[in-house]
Structure 1
Amino acid sequence: MLKSILTLRPTTSDWIFSLKTFGASILALYIALMFDLDRPVWAMATVYIVAHPLSGVLGSKAIYRVLGTVFGAIAAVVLVPNLVNAPVLLSMALALWVGGCLFLSRLDRTPRSYVFMLAGYTAAIVGFPCVTDPGNVFATAIARCQEISLGIVCATLVSHIILPRHIGPVIATRVDGWMADIAKLAAQSFDPASDGDAIQNDRARIAADLGELHGLALHLGYEKSRFAGRTRQLQALQSAMAALLPVFYAIYDRLTALKAQTGAVPDALSALLGRISDFILAQHHDPKQTADLHRDITAYAKTLGGGDDWAALLQLNLCDRLHRLLDFHEDCHALWAGIRAGDVPDDVIDRWQESGGDRALHRDYGVAFRCGLTAFIATMMVCGFWMMSAWPNGATAAMMAAVGASLMSFLDNPVPALKGFIRYTAMAVGVVLIYSLVILPGIDGFPLLAMVFAPYFILLGVLITSPQTYGFALAMLVNVVMILNVGTAYSSNVAGVIGGGIASLAGFGVAAIVTAFIRVMPVDRHIRRLVRANWRDIAAIGKGKLKLGRMIMIRRLLDRQGLILPRLAMAPEHHETFLRVMPEVSIASVLYDLQRLRMVAEPALATKLDRLLANIAQHFEARLDDFTRAPDAVILRDVDHILRDVMGMPKGAAREKLLIPLVALRRTLSKDDAPDLGRYHEPTARNGQNGIMPVALIGETA
């Protein structure tokens, strides 16, 4: 941590942020002292807890914190008086509330999750100190709501009035950067000689960045930048940009296959790809040029004669993907231009709005349950010791156990962060002793109090702006404020300070121990859980049981890819697993197409498609129990049979609509060979079981 602090180079805006935050905290403390509120330090600490350099983010955190505080206070008011004569039951009820709220918080991957988490541990903060005086719980709940609200109002006013920094321009800069990344990815994807691994990493990085945009856009409703109120439009843009990623994968894959099949990409196709690449790199919105390129693609597709061999089929599929690329790219530019101009076409928003919602985000119910269970057990363990030992500071330890189990729950492994928080809490106790015994006895009046606080709080406030030092700075600031417990008159209670500090350390220590045993799982296991979640969804699509829309499902698969990427640095052995994620997005897309087309296919062909879909579903279900299941050529052979049947159909739109997803599926299943498109003869028997396929299917490229 010392190295991170020494290498930090604060900017002018960082110092301004620290000065503003300190000013807001001192204002909150002054008002709380002036009105003789019960716990003035709650108001001061709240300012630092919700502090953020961007006014929109601070505003949303403030609203969510108020709501969470109110819900948690209500829970404490309901539970404590009614269960105070049954301490075990009361402890269990509060622990269940904390755990249940944390479970809901971990399922919501938006800034709104703060409401649930805060509602959980606020009930502990209000409820446990009132166990010995239940008649005071309502007053304590009101006091906490008042002082939290006071701190939030001060922080919000100062942030929005004095040199505000809006999140809108930050989002604009990032979107411009992502659009440039998309253009670069297009140029790479149009070149079959490009490094496939590098392209895959770029796709995954863009997917991870786009996941961040979903959360950032939610903050726009809490500021007055020119992008205020554009959350829905930005989420539609995010969805349209994400839809480009599997299209780029398909284009690069078809070009690679075409080059392997024929030795080179045809000159006419290369020229067409060059024009499209130049158009995308130009980064401008030109519907006329887009329409011209669509016509050029259609004209080239007509020269393929409907696809009579594998090379022609690959190009036919490629042309379909190029049409899709131009459509999605056009929508991206229409949305972004409309957002900046304040006039987004409604029809474009409607196309993408549903897939831009929260349902497109991955939710891990298992991890959420383990988080909630950790909070419940940690809180109950401290409460059990408190009841058996009659520990005077047991309430503080129980509160800190609930807080500790909740705060770092978003991390894969919260234990190192909790250990750090324990160290910083111990250091904060030392700072409090210096203030209590050396500095504060000589202070008379609020101006001098603000002056002696200023050096420490302003210096630590600068560290909040850096992710590397945020945890250290916040712990050192909030713990000093809370343990020091400044009131209207000076009170030196060294025993109380040390006792409260020890209780806080014990609460966090229990949370860390329980987390290590229940919550922590190896990164390898996290990756496997994400991959298996993909397989479950793909199996459901194959069975026709998944009721989510196509683009919602594609977004969810891409979201998981973005979650896998940062974990690969700690589990490089899963690189090959990661390379299968994008093909699985392609499989999901194809299964949607085949489910739709089987409804209008001839009965014999529909039966074969049903069998293909069912066996793909069986395969992915089987892989849930056998992560490295060996490949089986049966399903690939069946795809080839269906391809040959479709090739024998009269040329036309129906034939082409079937060929496009089948070619994509064939390429996804096998990268090493081309199908035999000769006449198909049905085998007389398939494993002696009336044509039923074995369970082991697909394999390494799935």
Structure 2
Amino acid sequence: MLSTILSLRPKATDWLFSVKTFAASILALFIALAFDLDRPVWAMATVYIVAHPLSGVLASKAVYRVLGTILGGVAAVIFVPNLVSAPVLLSLVLAIWVGGCLFLSRLDRTPRSYLFMLAGYTAAIVGFPCVGDPTAVFTTAIARCQEISLGIICATLVSHIVFPRHIGPVIAARIDGWMGDVAKLADQSFDPDTDADSLHNERARIAADLGELHGLALHLGYEKSGFAGRTRQLHALQSVVAALLPVLYGIHDRLIAIKGELGTLPDDVTAILENITAHIKAPSHDQGRLGALHHDIDVFAARVAQERDWAGLLQINLANRLHRFLDFHDDCRTLWDGIRAGEVPTDVLDRWQEGARASALHRDYGAAFRSGLTALIATVIVCGFWIASGWPSGSTAAMMAAVGASIMSFLDNPVPALKGFIRYTALSVAVVLVYSLAILPGIDGFALLVMAFAPYFILLGVLMATPQTYGFGLAMLVNVVMILNVDTAYSSNVSALLGGGIASLAGFGVAAIVTAFVRVVPVDSFIRGLVQANWRDIAGIARGTLNIARMVMIRRLLDRQGLILPRLAMATRHRETLIRVMPEVSIAASLYDLRRIRLFVDRDISARIDVLLRNIARHFEARLDDFDRAPDPKILAEVDNILGLVTVMQDDEQRQKLLIPLVALRRTLSKTDAPKLDRAAGNATRPMPVSPEIGEIA
């Protein structure tokens, strides 16, 4: 950490953030002391806990912190007086509350998760110190709510009034970068010779940004930038970008297949791709050029519409994908232009709104349960020792166990961070001793106190502006504030300071140990779980038991890809996972379309599609136990049989609707060979046997 700190080169905005945060904390402390509140340091510490360089993020954290504090205080007021005579039961109830709230927090991947986490450990912070005097719990809860609210008000006012930095421009810069990334990805996807790894990296990076920007957009309702109130529109824009990724994957894959079949791309295809590239790179959005491009694709599609060989079917599929890409890209530009102008067309917004729902984000119930269980066990262990030993500082240790198990739960492996927090807490005790024994005894008046605090707090506040040193800066500031416990009159009780410091270390230590045994999952297992979650969804789509919208399904699969990306560097054996994810999105979309279309086609083809869907469902269910299982040859044979029947259908509309998902599914299942369509078409005049269903153990 020392080398990281020494290598930092803070910008002027970092110093401004630190000075603003220090000013807000001093204002909160001054007001708390002036009104003789019970714990003035709670107000001061809260300013640093909610501090953020972006005013919208700070405001949303502030709102959820207030609500979480109130909910946790209410829980403590209910639990402590009624259960204080049964300390074991009270400890268990508070531990269950902390664990349950943390479970809900880990399931919610929006800023609202902060509310649940705060509600959990606030009950511990208010409740455990009042075990010896249960009549004080209501007063303590009110005091905490007052002082937390005071700190939040001061932090919010200073952040929004003094050189505010809004989140809107940050999001705008990200989206402008997106538009450039999409154009670059399209240009690469239109070349069948593009390096596969380069394409995978580009798609994966955009997918990872989708989840991050989803959370940032939720903060827009808490500030007054030009994008305030545009959260819904921005989420719709993210849905469009998410939809573009599998479409571009499909285009690139079909181009590779067509070139493999014909030896080169047809001239009209090459011309269309060049024109599309010029269109999406143009600085202005030309609707006239867009209409001309659709017309060119229609002419190309009419030329190959009646083709029955594999190369022809691939070109039919390609034409559909090109139309879809242009439509999606048009919606993308329309949404972004509308957001910047303050007026988004309702029809475009409605078209993509469903894909922006929270259900489109992955929820890891297993990780959430383990996080909640960790907080429960850690709190119970410390409480058990406290009850058995009569430890005077046991309440502090119990509080810190609950806090320690909660605040780092968003990490895959919180143990290193908890170890660091323990080290920083020990350093904080040393800083507190210096202040308490050498500096504060000579302080007479609030102005001198501010001068004594300024060098340390401003310097450490700068570290909070950088992600690499944020944890160190926050721990060194909040711990010093809380352990020092500044009040209206100076008092130096070294034994109490040391006792509180040791108890804090013990609480965090127990949280770290329990986390190591219960919470930590190897990154390989985490990635494996995400991949298997995709397989469960694909099986559910094939069986018809997963009833979600098509775009919600695509967003969810891509969201998991975004979660996998940053973890691949630590799990090299899963390097091929990203290569799998996009084909699985294609499979899921094809199955979704086939399940819907089968209701309107010939009974024989519909029956064959039903068998195909059940066999694919069983295959992916079997892969949950056999991770590397290859598809059963019967699945590929049945796809070829259905394709053979569809190619000779007389109803052009039904033929077209069936060919699009079937060609995509066939190409995804096997990239090394082509279906024997001539043989299947020749046999189409007489009944063809339906392939048997794969057994339940297949």
Counterpart check, 1:592 vs 2:587: no
Q: Which amino acid letter does the alignment assign opposite residue 126 of structure 2?
A: V
TM-score (norm 2): 0.98
What residue number does 2:355 align with? 355
State the partner residue of 2:461: 461
The whole-number CA distance in structure 1 between the counterparts of 2:551 and 2:631 is 29
2:519 is the counterpart of 1:516: no
C-alpha distance in structure 1 between counterparts of 2:616 and 2:282, whole Å: 41
Change (3 A) 1:596 1:454: same
Alpha-carbon contact 1:183-1:281 (below 8 Å) kept: yes
Partner of residue 314, structure 1 = 314
CA contact (8 A) 1:685 1:691 kept: no
Structure-2 residue corresponding to 1:324: 324
> Helix, strand or coil for the counterpart of 2:304?
coil
- Aligned residue in 1 for 2:432: 432
**Matches of 1:588 and 1:225, distance apart in 2:** 39
3-state SS of paired residue (1:498): helix
Question: Which residue of structure 2 lines up, in the alignment, with residue 693 of structure 1?
Answer: 694
The 4+ residue runs of structure 1 with deviation greater than 4 A are 681-686, 694-697
Structure 2 segments unaligned to the other structure (5+ residues): none
What residue is the counterpart of 2:255 in the other structure? Answer: 255
Instruction: Give the letter for the 1:692 counterpart.
Output: E
2:305–2:316 CA contact under 8 A, matched in 1: no
Map residues 543-562 of structure 1 onto 2, 5 A cutoff: 543-562=543-562
Cα separation, 1, equivalents of 2:276 and 2:289: 10
For 1:492, the aligned partner's letter is: S
Mean Cα deviation higher: 385-394 or 193-202: 193-202
In the alignment, the residues of structure 2 paired with residue 289 and residue 240 of structure 1 have an alpha-carbon distance, to the nearest angstrom, of 21
Instruction: Tell me by how many angstroms 1:283 deviates.
Output: 4.4
* Cα pair 2:309 2:678 within 8 Å, conserved: no
For the Cα contact (< 8 Å) 1:236–1:355, is it kept in 2? Answer: yes
**In 2, Cα distance between equivalents of 1:427 and 1:248:** 53
Write the mapping of 1:179-194 to structure 2, written as runs, cut at 5 A: 179-194=179-194
Letter in 1 for 2:96: L
Distance 1:592 1:104 in 2: 31
- Once the 2 structures are TM-superposed, how far is the Cα of residue 651 of structure 1 from its aligned partner? 5.4
Report deviation, 1:633.
1.5
Partner letter of residue 401 of structure 1? A
How many angstroms apart in 1 are the aligned matches of 2:44 and 2:693?
69
Q: CA deviation at 1:179?
A: 0.7
In structure 2, distance between residues paired with 1:201 and 1:260 = 24
Task: State the alpha-carbon separation in 2 of the partners of residues 93 and 170 from structure 1.
Answer: 43
Distance 1:147 1:307 in 2: 74
> CA 1:111–1:454 in 2, change beyond 3 Å: closer, same or farther?
same
AA aligned to 1:485 is N
Paired with 2:259 and 2:126, the residues of 1 have a C-alpha distance of 68
Query: Once the 2 structures are TM-superposed, how far is the Cα of residue 679 of structure 1 from its aligned partner?
Result: 3.3
Percent identity between the two aligned chains? 71
Superposed, 1:438-457 pairs within 5 Å as 438-457=438-457
2:642 aligned counterpart, secondary structure: helix
Partner SS state of residue 303, structure 1: helix
> Which residue is 1:273 aligned to?
273
Question: Is the Cα contact below 8 Å between 1:308 and 1:647 reproduced in 2?
Answer: yes
Matches within 5 A, 1:95-106: 95-106=95-106
Q: In structure 1, what is the Cα distance between the partners aligned to 2:453 and 2:303?
A: 78
Q: In the TM superposition, what whole-angstrom CA distance separates every residue of 1:636-687 from its partner, at most 9, and x where no partner exists?
A: 111000000101111511111111110000000001111110233599999x
User: Could you tell me which residue of structure 2 aligns to residue 73 of structure 1?
Assistant: 73
**Structure 1 residue 14: Cα displacement:** 0.6
How do 1:664-679 and structure 2 match up within 5 A? Answer: 664-679=664-679
Q: For the residues of structure 1 that align with 2:256 and 2:108, how far apart are their CA atoms?
A: 40
Counterpart CA distance in 2 for 1:308 and 1:666 is 15
Instruction: Output one character per residue of 1:17-56: Cα deviation in whole Å (capped at 9) or x when no partner.
Output: 1000000000000000000000000000000000000000
Q: Partners of 1:181 and 1:577 in 2: how far apart?
A: 22
Find the residue that maps to 1:120 and give its secondary structure.
helix
Cα shift readout 1:293-338 (whole Å, capped 9, x = no counterpart): 1111111111114222111111110110111101110111111000
Aligned residue in 2 for 1:700: none
Q: Show the counterpart of 2:227.
A: 227
Cα distance in 2 for residues equivalent to 1:24 and 1:584? 50
- Output one character per residue of 1:130-175: Cα deviation in whole Å (capped at 9) or x when no partner: 0000000000000000000000000000000000000000000000
Alignment partner, residue 623 of structure 2: 623
Give matches, 1:55-94, under 5 Å. Answer: 55-94=55-94
> Is 2:413 aligned against 1:413?
yes
Q: Distance in 2 between matches of 1:693 and 1:59?
A: 56
Q: Name the SS for the 2:225 alignment partner.
A: coil
1:561-580 CA distance string (max 9 Å, x none)? 00011110000110122211
Tell me the distance in 1 between the aligned counterparts of 2:381 and 2:697. 47
Contact 2:619 2:631 in 1 (8 A): no
State the distance in 1 between where 2:687 and 2:604 align. 16
SS at match of 1:193: coil
Contact 2:65 2:118 in 1 (8 A): yes
CA offset digits 1:88-137 (Å, max 9, x no partner): 11000100000000000000000110000000000000000000000000
Mapped to 1, the partners of 2:329 and 2:3 lie a distance apart of 44
TM-score by length of 1: 0.98
Inter-CA distance 108–497: structure 2 relative to 1 (3 Å threshold): same
Instruction: Give the aligned length.
Output: 695
**How far has the Cα of 1:629 moved from its partner?**
1.2
Provide the C-alpha distance between the structure 2 equivalents of 1:598 and 1:59, rounded to a whole number of angstroms. Answer: 50
- What amino acid is aligned across from residue 63 of structure 1 in structure 2? V
Provide the rounded CA distance (Å) in 2 between the counterparts of 1:623 and 1:240.
31
**1:20 aligned partner:** 20
Give the corresponding residue for 2:50.
50
Indicate whether 1:572 and 2:572 are aligned: yes
CA shift, 1:528, in A, is 0.5
1:180-219 pair list within 5 angstroms: 180-219=180-219
- Residue 126 of structure 1 corresponds to which residue in structure 2? 126
